[in-house]
Amino acid sequence: MLVSRYSLRSALILCCAGLLAACGPADKQQVSVISGKTMGTYYRVSVLGASKSQEAELREKIESQLKEDDHQLSTYKDDSVLSRFNQYTGSEPQPISQGMADAITTSLRIGRLTDGAMDITVGPLVNLWGFGPTKQPVKMPTQEQIDAAKKLDGLQHLKVIEQSDGTYLQKDLPGLYVDLSTVGEGYATDHLARLVEGMGFSDYLVSVGGAVVSRGYNEKGRPWQVAIQKPTDKENAVQAIVDLQGMGISTSGSYRNYYELDGVRLSHIIDPKTGRPIQHKLVSATVIASTALEADGWDTGLMVLGEKKAMALAEQQHLAVYLIMKTPDGFQAYMTPQFKTYIRKADQG
């Protein structure tokens, strides 16, 4: 029986919240905040020193960029570029944009480095468990259904081809279904950061869902700060505060988007090896990287691996990673030395 569903998409708190744009000419001390809905979640752009007319131009460009990203990557829209690729059952290379090619190339690399834990071809399993555009199941999926969905999975079946006349995507398994939901927020966040920079702003904080990029300073002349939430759906408590210093950050958490079926808590993060939602003590993984796309790809892979393998891989790859594990008494945090350099304040409890 379906008991309940929880979907709290962002595990990061933007510490600029509550600051609003003021009227009048551009003023270096004023923050403009442009926000709205996109991709089943929210975006928020805070920029220092924009005039009213620049603010209007920014909003228009942001909305247009997000619409384009959604058109490229959505599995929730039948006519997106990705959905059309998923519907195509042939093996001829299909043209894609350079941006989409970069997102897929990054995803395939992280997929290999995580030994297939981060797997953008896991879509049939995501949909079977009701975390994609399809409805949640009312009965626990059977092993036969899981095995059938697993047969459609495999990074080795997907190839990005870069040629002088453009970039292409090719599959050699007719039912292969690519799900870029795990990197889509980071992808869009990087685009918004580039857009804001392109308009000449150097002090900004942008986010789409759980992915954030910041550069420069806030209205108080201090670096923008982002808070990692404690991994619980019941409170908005802060686990740690980081200063991004121009980097991208993303958090993936098993407690953010889940439902309960037959008394079992089912998270939206699927282990491609078992074909089932993850069930372990690691409840949140935050990664800081040079782009939000990169951070967004790693956080899901680390969540799938579980705390021991995630720690070992983070150390081996010199990643800036903050993990939160559930303990009988509460939570325990772990961070790599690379992450420590971004920490302003951390609660070990």
Minimum CB distance to ligand FAD smaller for 55 or for 115? 115
Contacts of 75 (CB under 8 A, 6+ apart): 82, 83, 86, 123, 132, 133, 177, 178, 179, 180, 181
Number of residues in contact with ligand FAD under rule CB under 6 A? 34
Residue pointed to by tokens 């009312």: 138
Are 260 and 266 in contact, with CB atoms under 8 Å apart?
yes
Which range of residues in 119-127, 143-151, 287-295, 307-315 is near ligand FAD by CB under 6 A? 119-127
CA angle in degrees (0–180, nearest 5) for 239-317-344? 25
232 to 271, contacts with ligand FAD by CB under 6 A?
252, 256-257, 268-270
Is residue 272 near ligand FAD by the rule CB under 6 A?
yes
Which range of residues in 47-55, 71-79, 143-151, 190-198 is near ligand FAD by CB under 6 A? 71-79
Site pattern 3..42 for ligand FAD (x: CB under 6 A): ------x-----------------------------xxx-
Q: Which of 49, 124, 130, 209 binds ligand FAD (CB under 6 A)?
A: 209
Is residue 131 near ligand FAD by the rule CB under 6 A?
yes
Is residue 181 near ligand FAD by the rule CB under 6 A?
yes
Q: At what angle do helices 292-305 and 98-113 cross, to 10 degrees?
A: 30
Which range of residues in 52-60, 70-78, 162-170, 189-197 is near ligand FAD by CB under 6 A? 70-78
The C-alpha atoms of residue 224 and residue 243 are separated, in whole angstroms, by: 6
Q: Which residues bind ligand FAD (CB under 6 A)?
A: 9, 39-41, 70, 73-74, 76, 117-120, 122, 126, 131-132, 179-182, 184-185, 209-210, 252, 256-257, 268-270, 272, 296, 300, 304
